[in-house]
Amino acid sequence: MQAAMVRSASPEAPDISVVVPVYDEAGAAPALAREIAAAFAGRNYEMVFVDDASRDGTRAALKALQGEIPQLRVLGHARNSGQSRAIRSGVLAARGAVIVTLDGDGQNDPADGPKLVDALTAGPLQLALVGGERVKRQDSQAKKIASRIGNGVRKRLLKDTADDTGCGLKAFRREAFLRLPYFDHIHRYLPALMLREGYVTAFLPVAHRHRQTGVSKYTNLGRLWVSLSDLMGVMWLQSRSRNPGGVDEV
């Protein structure tokens, strides 16, 4: 079933949809779902976990939690399609006007999510995204160096004002996201693409934690390879953009 077809109707749609892509995260996903529930307690929210065709018990572990966490929805891809596609599937299925994304490995702290939402909703309508910027990163030195270089090059070429687009913790307006052109790895270029559409972005510091279970699905070499073509593609999109500066009905 396509994700766009599972956006179920509700007499009271949530204000916030927390979208979490997961792949082979049976060890981390249940604890993360409970942390999200604690962080957003008292708010009108739902959480949408998107299982990207995991080979372990991720999907079953999440399904088993639905009795404990009524806000939990679980979507499943028929085949592995990557983090960006899982995020898009979740956003398409989401019922909230505000989306919060975070990585499924537990390294993002869900407790930081509400402050990003509050900053987004307190801002003007042109503010479409508030991104997290990880402080005291709990990654290997090699990964931190590679990330610092990659972020520096991307920021210089795209002029997106973002110091850490690799942080999975973001809050954005669903409508704005769905206006963006989709491609694989889009989740790393959301600030640049939001600016391209004439929106405003902002960033706040967030915590970062050690991975407790599972293994990373990315390597420095793999990221470098795809980043080169992605950067050229986004630069091309920027070069072909013509912003009208506003649309008024007259």
Give the per-residue SS3 of 77-131.
Answer: CCCCCCHHHHHHHHHHHCCCCEEEECCCCCCECHHHHHHHHHHHHHCCCCEEEEE
37-47 tens-digit pLDDT: 999 999 999 99
d(CA 166, CA 84): 12
Domain that holds residue 147: 12-239
How does the average pLDDT of the chain come out, rounded? 90
Tell me what pLDDT residue 216 has. Answer: 63
Q: Report yes or no on 19 lying in a domain.
A: yes
Position 97 in a domain: yes
Q: Is residue 3 part of a domain?
A: no
Q: How many residues does this entry show for the chain?
A: 250
User: Domain for residue 124, yes or no?
Assistant: yes
Using the predicted structure, report yes or no on whether residue 4 has a pLDDT greater than 80: no
pLDDT at 76 over 60: yes
What distance in Å separates the CA atoms of residue 73 and residue 169, rounded to the nearest whole number? 19
Which one is predicted more confidently, 137 or 193? 193
pLDDT tens digits, one per residue of 54-68: 999 999 999 999 999
CATH of the domain at 160: 3.90.550.10
- Give the number of C-alpha atoms closer than 13 A to the C-alpha of residue 88, restricted to the C-beta side: 18
Report if residue 132 sits inside a domain: yes
Q: Examine the pLDDT at 18 and tell me if it is beyond 60.
A: yes
pLDDT of residue 3: 43
Per the structure, how many domains does the chain have?
Answer: 1
85 part of a folded domain: yes
Residue 2 lies in a domain: no
Q: What pTM did the predictor assign?
A: 0.87
